[in-house]
C-alpha cells in the first residue's frame, strides 16, 4: 500500500467526569491505540484539564507519528457552542465559556475539533454501529442523567446555539422531582441511572422486604448500591430489580414518544451505562412507546435499539467527526453549511 493509499488516522478524546480517554481511530472506526488519564477534579482551573488532554494526545502522536494523524476530535460532556470551539458549560469540569479549541490548538500540531460527547457517540453509531443506513437517527444516552443527539441525512443537528439534544431536561411531570438543573419534573429524574438507584434506595431505606436481595448485595448499606448492581440482580432473576428497570423503561418510552412526535426519526438508539440492561429496559420502553405514540396505528413506528459501540462510541465519533471536518473523508457529511468546508454539522 502506498503512502497515498494509507487510511487517514485521527485521534478521538472522550472527556468524562472521571476519565480522559483517547484513541487513534482509522476510517473504519477501529481503535488502533489507546491512552487514558484520570480527569482532574472540577475545582481545578481549566488549564489543568487541558494539560491532561494534551498529555493523552502527545502519547498517541508519539505512537503513530504526527504525520499520520489528520485531526483531533474532542468530545466533551457539556454545552458546546455552534462554532465547535467553545465549551459554554461543562457541569463536571470548571469550563465556563472556555475557548477550548484555541487553547489546545496552540499546543497540538494538527487541527482540533470540539463537540458534545452525545453528538460524537451518535455519529459513531450512525457511521459504524447500530444506526448504519438510517437517514433520521435520534440517540438517547442514559447515564447518571440523560443526554442525546439528532442526526438527519448524515448531519448532526446542533441547534442555533449548539445546545440541541439536552433531552433529559424535557419536563414530563409538572411539579415533579427536583432536578439538578433547577427545574422540576425533568425526564432524567424518571428514566436515568440516578432515578434507578434513587428508587431502589428508597425501598432499601424503608426496610422493604422486597429489597432484601439488593440489600444483601451491598452488605446492608444502601449507599453502596449502583446501577450496574441493580442490572446484575435483574439479570440474575431478582424480581424487584426487574420491576425497577421496567419502571425506568416505561418512563423512557414516554419520553421517546414525545421525541417521535416532535422529530419523527426512523430509529432511536439507546446508549449509556443503563442500556446494558438490554431488553429488561428496552422491552418496557417499546411497549410504553407504542401506547403513547401520537397517531399510533396510522403511522410508521420508529425502531428502538441498543447502541453497539459501548464506552468507546464517544472517542470513535469525536475522531471521525474531526477527520470529516478536516476534509479527509469528503464523501461523508455532504450538504454542510455553505462556506464551511467539510463541516458535517447543521447549525440550526
Tens digit of each residue's pLDDT (9 = 90 or more) over 181-200: 889 999 999 999 999 999 99
The CATH class of the 3-124+310-346 domain is: alpha beta
**Better pLDDT: 49 or 278:** 278
Backbone angles phi, psi at 204, to 5 degrees: -70, -45
Q: Is 136 helix (H, G, I), strand (E, B) or coil?
A: strand
Which residues contact residue 267 at a Cβ distance below 8 angstroms, ignoring those fewer than 6 apart?
A: 130, 131, 134, 136, 137, 138, 302, 303, 304, 305
Q: What is the mean pLDDT of residues 57-85?
A: 92
Tell me the pLDDT band of 333, cut-offs 50, 70 and 90.
Answer: low
Question: Average pLDDT, stretch 248-274?
Answer: 96
Residues 6+ apart with CB under 8 A from 297: none
Averaged pLDDT for residues 148-173: 94
Average pLDDT of the segment spanning 227-245: 97
pLDDT at residue 328 tops 90: no
The superfamily CATH assigns to domain 134-306 is ATPase, nucleotide binding domain (3.30.420.40)
pLDDT confidence band for 5 (50 / 70 / 90): low
pTM over 0.95: no
Domain with CATH 3.30.420.40 in the chain: 3-124+310-346, 134-306
Cα torsion through 32, 77, 272, 123, rounded to 10: -60
Q: For residue 172, what is the enclosing H or E element? A: none
Cell numbers representing residue 41 in the block: 477534579
Specify the higher pLDDT residue, 18 or 141.
Answer: 141
Across 46-50, 244-248, 259-263, least confident range: 46-50
In what helix (H) or strand (E) does residue 17 lie, and over which residues does it extend? none
Amino acid at each position: 500500500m502506498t503512502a497515498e493509499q494509507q487510511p487517514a488516522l485521527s485521534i478521538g478524546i472522550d472527556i468524562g467526569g472521571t476519565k480522559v480517554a483517547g484513541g487513534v481511530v482509522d476510517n473504519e472506526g477501529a481503535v488502533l491505540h489507546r491512552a487514558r488519564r484520570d480527569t482532574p477534579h472540577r475545582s481545578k482551573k481549566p488549564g489543568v484539564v487541558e494539560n491532561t488532554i494534551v498529555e493523552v494526545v502527545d502519547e498517541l502522536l508519539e505512537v503513530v507519528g504526527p504525520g499520520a494523524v489528520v485531526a483531533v476530535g474532542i468530545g466533551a460532556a457539556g454545552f458546546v457552542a455552534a462554532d465547535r470551539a467553545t465549551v459554554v458549560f461543562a457541569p463536571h469540569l470548571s469550563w465556563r465559556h472556555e475557548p477550548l479549541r484555541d487553547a489546545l490548538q496552540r499546543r497540538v500540531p494538527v487541527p482540533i475539533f470540539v463537540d458534545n460527547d452525545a453528538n460524537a457517540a451518535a455519529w459513531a453509531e450512525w457511521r459504524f454501529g447500530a444506526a448504519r443506513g438510517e437517514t433520521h437517527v435520534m440517540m438517547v444516552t442514559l447515564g447518571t442523567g440523560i443526554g442525546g443527539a439528532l442526526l438527519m441525512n448524515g448531519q448532526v443537528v446542533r441547534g442555533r446555539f449548539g445546545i440541541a439534544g439536552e433531552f433529559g431536561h424535557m419536563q414530563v411531570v409538572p411539579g415533579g422531582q427536583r432536578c439538578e438543573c433547577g427545574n422540576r419534573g425533568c425526564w432524567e429524574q424518571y428514566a436515568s441511572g440516578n432515578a434507578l438507584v434513587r428508587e431502589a434506595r428508597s425501598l432499601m431505606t424503608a426496610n422493604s422486604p422486597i429489597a432484601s436481595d439488593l440489600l444483601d448485595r451491598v452488605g446492608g448499606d444502601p449507599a453502596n448500591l449502583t446501577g450496574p448492581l441493580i442490572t446484575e440482580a435483574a439479570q440474575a432473576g431478582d424480581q424487584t430489580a426487574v420491576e425497577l428497570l421496567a419502571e425506568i423503561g416505561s418512563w423512557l418510552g414516554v419520553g421517546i414518544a414525545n421525541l417521535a412526535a416532535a422529530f419523527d426519526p426512523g430509529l432511536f438508539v439507546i446508549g449509556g451505562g443503563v442500556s446494558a440492561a438490554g431488553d429488561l429496559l428496552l422491552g418496557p420502553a417499546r411497549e410504553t412507546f407504542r401506547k403513547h405514540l401520537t397517531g399510533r396505528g396510522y403511522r410508521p413506528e420508529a425502531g428502538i435499539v441498543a447502541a453497539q459501540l459501548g464506552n468507546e462510541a464517544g472517542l470513535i465519533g469525536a475522531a471521525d467527526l474531526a477527520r470529516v471536518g478536516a476534509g479527509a473523508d469528503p464523501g461523508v457529511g455532504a450538504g454542510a453549511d455553505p462556506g464551511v468546508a467539510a463541516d458535517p454539522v447543521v447549525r440550526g
